[in-house]
Amino acid sequence: MIEVKGLTKRYGEITAIDDVCFSLEKGEILGLLGPNGAGKTTTMRILSGFMPPSRGTATVAGYDVLKEPLEVKRRVGYMPEHPPLYNEMMVSSYLDFVARIKGVPRNRRKNSFARVVEQCGLPQVTSRLVGNISKGFRQRVGLAQALIHDPEVLILDEPTIGLDPGQIIEIRELIKALGEEHTIILSSHVLPEVTMICKRVVIINEGKVVVVDSYENLSARLRKSERIAIKLTKPNEQVISRLKALTGVKEVFADEGNANCFIIESEIKSEIGEELAKTIVSEGWGLQEMKLLSLSLEDIYLRLITGEKELLS
């Protein structure tokens, strides 16, 4: 449904995105995850047909964003980070206005309006002024304006940003429900957001794709090893070579910055703890501390975006 190949965008000297590639099947919900300035908005604006790339191609439902942006716009509902809402308009007139701009034929506008009001849970606010409704409802109106021309694809830029926890849950549920009939790309800079809604994740950092994978695969790939930290009172120069020789141990290194501390990386489920403790005691190195260092997916995301790509190798 969406095919992105070598997408690059430069703003003068700044390369906002560099050689971005990924693809999306019909009906998938994909999360574009990355810190501020990673290039999420840039990627989404290009995919929505609002901005041409400097290099590379992207097709949406078979249409090239550069050659046929109008066909792309017809099939994409885009919700920018700050949806263009007019505070002095009533919700119903605003949605009618958007329907007209997007070229929804007059005889279909009433149905389109009824459909998005139903889809986005807006019945109680249709006759209120946009400026007077809560942020959660404003976000729903933002979604409604993206959906008004009944697009197959939804591109949502940080859809839950600035909402309270209750509203965040409501919007997530709404997006999941929309995912049953739409292909969706949403962006976020927080990991839980993406893992709760999306099956597959593209992590992007400083304009480059760091990883594209399903959430399950990502967790599995990243949990290939376990780490144990130890602190010894009387280590000698044989510690590293001796511990490396234990079954299940992949790597042993001194914990820089912490004197007498070592990190032992072992194969997952190898349960080396007992053997490790026995060895330390029998060698007389003095075991002062031993703890399992678990890497949460959040740690991993942080490490990935701070450049520790070897985590995935």
Ligand X SMILES: Nc1ncnc2c1ncn2[C@@H]1O[C@H](COP(=O)(O)OP(=O)(O)OP(=O)(O)O)[C@@H](O)[C@H]1O
Residues forming the site for ligand X (CB under 6 A): 11, 14, 16, 34, 36-42, 189
- Residue 40 or 182 having the CB closest to ligand X: 40
CB closer to ligand X, 113 vs 301: 301
Q: 51: exposed, middle or buried (C-beta count within 10 Å: 0-12, 13-18, 19+)?
A: middle
What is the per-residue burial (b if ≥16 Cβ within 10 Å, else e) of 65-101?
beeebebbbbbbbbbbeebebeeeebbeebbbebbee
What CA–CA distance (Å, rounded) separates 188 from 207?
A: 15
Least Å distance, CB 209 to ligand X, is 12
- The encoded tokens of residue 287 equal 């075991």
Minimum Å distance from CB 12 to ligand X? 7
Rounded to the nearest whole angstrom, what is the least distance from the CB of residue 187 to ligand X in the complex? Answer: 7
* Cα→Cα distances 26→17, 119, 120, 131, 153, Å: 24, 20, 21, 36, 9
Closer of 32 and 95 to Mg ion (Cβ): 32
Write out the binding residues for Mg ion, residues 27-56 only, by CB under 5 A: 40-41
Amino acid at 173: E
Total chain residues near Mg ion (CB under 5 A): 2
| Shortest Cβ 175–ligand X spacing (Å) | 18
Residue 42 binding result from ligand X, Mg ion, none, given CB thresholds of 5 to 8 Å by partner type: ligand X
Query: Which partner, ligand X, Mg ion, none, binds residue 305 by CB below 5 to 8 Å per kind?
Result: none
Helix (H) or strand (E) holding 31: strand 29-33
When the beta carbons of 29 and 202 are compared against ligand X, the nearer one is: 202
Closest CB to Mg ion belongs to which residue? 41
